[in-house]
Structure 1
Amino acid sequence: MAVAEPALRRRPDGGPSARALVFTLLGEYVRWAGEDTVPLRAVVPALGSLGVAEGATRRAVTRLVHEGWLAAEPVGRRTRLRLTPRMVRLLRRWTERLVRAVEKTPWDGEWQMLLLRPAEQAPQHGWLAERLEFEGFGPLGRGVWIAADPGGVDAVRELLDDLGLRPHATFLTSRIGAAGEERALIGQAWDLPAIRPLFTDFIDRFAGLEPGTDEEAFVARLRMVHAWRLVFDRDPRLPTVFLPDDWPGERATELFINNWLSWYEPADRWWNRLCAAP
């Protein structure tokens, strides 16, 4: 039976939780490098550089082990963490979604449609709607979802398989008609005014940021990737023709790409030193 994927929980002060940062760290610095193990002795100081107390990190890791996201393996007197297949699959989904969020893919004019029958099945899990929105789908009514980006269809099929809902699902492609009709559907499926501040806040936070050391680059990259996940979690990747002329999405995307490329090597150097430390 499928288990809900982790939310990006925040601390009472508004900052990301240790648990949420562990997921981002593992996705950005472990799986992105093609690895599936990491020494615990690297995870603790890595999150410490972001101001997370050692005790909070260890509690978060222990909980993830108990939940089946990680496996703890003794190596002498040290502990190595292994990503379980469940964790690997989750991080693969997140990475694929991140890549889609920065790609510029021409739209062919076709909408992806998902029909869930009966409609009562749709809210079987409270987080199902969040997962569909994460993959770019917006609701038109009970059990009816649309997306302009076809890149999330395979992930949604896999999700519905996990939930046992695939027999109740039908995927269609459709050309809706006049641009006015499409805009009306977009207004029904997505709240663009609520999404806009996610991009503008991201720009305000990370534009002009210039880390001076390898550690600062590591911290900046991890914080930026974590913040970007919160952005593309809500971004439906709509064709430019349906977005306002001053839509900040492209500027935010370019900022993310440029910063990531600039910080990649120094951040990796610091992370690799943590992993190699005795």
Structure 2
Amino acid sequence: MEDDNLDTTDTPPEAPESPDTPQLRPQSLVLAFFGNHVLDEGELCVYSGSIIDVLARVGTGEQAVRSTLTRMVNRGLLRRQREGRKMFFGLTPQTVRILKDGGQRIWRDGAVNEDWDGTWTLLGFSLPESWQRQRHDLRSRLTWSGFGALYSGLWIAPGRVGVHDIVSELGLAAHVKIFHAQADEATDIGAMICESWDLESVAARYAAFDKRWAGGTGGTPADPMATRLRLVAEWLRIIRTDPRLPVQHLPPEWPARQAQETFRRIAEETAGSAARMAGELLETVPLRSA
């Protein structure tokens, strides 16, 4: 899941953000909702009223949900389907890919990289000065894929990262060069990592997440659906800014491992009850062919 489309909206957060008080945007919560309760259930559409009711459980107002759904339809992230007087929303192929990528990051890759083979992916680009939107989109997608800026036009990520599809999708293939290489022994990898990524901020987000959720203050015990929705949305928000750097080059006691254990424990505890609650609360219909 991120791809800049995963939680970017056209409006700023309602309040200043900090690791201790994460402000989850409605689009992040809508995507977490569909990832939790729709993605693996087949081609379904969900009644807008059901989505509004669920997001109200985590403090998102009806108008914010409605405007977010409309914006996501306009951006090609959701499909709108009318059934009588009711409006239902389903996933587009683009969003299915986004959610499956997010699922890979959340449930399989994990937050701790212990399998690094010493290789790096380097991506160099040179874009016209007027291409500000293209530059923003490329940097956002590179950040989601684990890249850090070695220099302004040269980005680097651990391992062999497949970014060809990203570059092609953005229409930038003619402006980008991609290499796979190993660092010379004269290169101080630890220093390079500290210069290219903001490790302090990443570590602070993991530590705050673990403190909040391990202490039982992150969710509502009586509402497993709301708890799991916020849990997954918060976790995805953190891991999308984590480049999964090789653990041997990170500071001692890197907090990602403990935070991941907390996330997976609560996710497992809420999975069954949240699914049962969704089955009772959500009004769905089959997604019609386009």
8 A contact 1:113–1:171 mirrored in 2: yes
SS at match of 1:42: helix
* Structure-2 residue corresponding to 1:129: 139
Of 42, 58, 62 in structure 2, the residue corresponding to residue 54 of structure 1 is 62
Decide which structure has greater helix share: 1
CA deviations 1:135-160 (Å, max 9, x no partner) are: 1011111321111143xx23x32221
Equivalence for 1:12: 15
Counterpart of 2:50, as a letter, is A
TM-score norm. by structure 2 comes to 0.82
Does 2:155 correspond to 1:145? yes
Distance 1:238 1:119, change over 3 A: farther
Match of 2:245 in 1: 238
Shift of 1:96: 2.8
Unaligned runs of 5+ in 2: 18-22, 286-290
CA contact (8 A) 1:97 1:135 kept: no
The Cα shift of 1:174 comes to 1.5
Counterpart position of 1:116 = 125
Name the CA distance, whole Å, in 1 between partners of 2:124 and 2:284.
52
1:256 to 245, 258, 263: 263
Classify the secondary structure of the residue corresponding to 1:51: coil
Residue 77 of structure 2, aligned match among 63, 69, 74: 69
Structure 1 residues 245 and 107: alpha-carbon distance in aligned structure 2, compared to 1, 3 A threshold: same
Q: Are residues 1:168 and 2:169 paired?
A: no
| Distance in 2 of aligned mates of 1:104 and 1:229 | 16
How big is the shift at 1:104?
5.3
* Higher normalized contact order (CA 8 Å, seq sep 6+, divided by chain length): 2
Matching residue's letter, 1:130: S
The 2-side partners of 1:253 and 1:179 are apart by 34
1:190 matched to 2:197? The reply is: yes
Aligned-residue offset at 1:228: 0.8
Equivalent-residue separation in structure 2 for 1:135 and 1:262 (angstroms): 29
Residues of 2 paired with 1:121 and 1:92: CA distance? 33
Number of positions where the alignment pairs a residue of Structure 1 with one of Structure 2:
271
Separation in 2 of the partners of 1:181 and 1:13? 36
Deviation at 1:221, TM superposition (A): 0.9
Larger displacement relative to structure 2 (9-18 or 257-266): 9-18
**Partner SS for 1:81:** strand
Structure-2 change in CA distance of 1:147 and 1:225 (3 Å)? same
Amino acid paired to 2:174: P
Which residue in the other structure is 2:273 paired with?
A: 266
Deviations 1:190-241 (A, max 9, x none): 121122111011011111438543xx11111111111112211211111111
User: Is the CA contact 1:102–1:257 (under 8 Å) kept in the aligned structure 2?
Assistant: no
TM-score (norm 1): 0.86
1:105 shift after superposition: 5.0
How much does 1:47 deviate?
A: 0.6
Moved more, 193-202 or 167-176: 167-176
| Structure 1 unpaired stretches of 5+ | none
| Aligned AA (1:100) | D
* Structure 1 position 100 matched with structure 2 position 109: yes
CA contact (8 A) 2:225 2:275 kept: yes
**CA distance in 1: counterparts of 2:113 and 2:4, whole angstroms:** 30
Give the 3 Å change call, closer, same or farther, for CA 237–277 of structure 1 in structure 2.
closer
State the alpha-carbon separation in 2 of the partners of residues 118 and 77 from structure 1.
Answer: 48
Identity across aligned pairs (percent)? 30
Aligned-residue CA RMSD (Å): 2.8
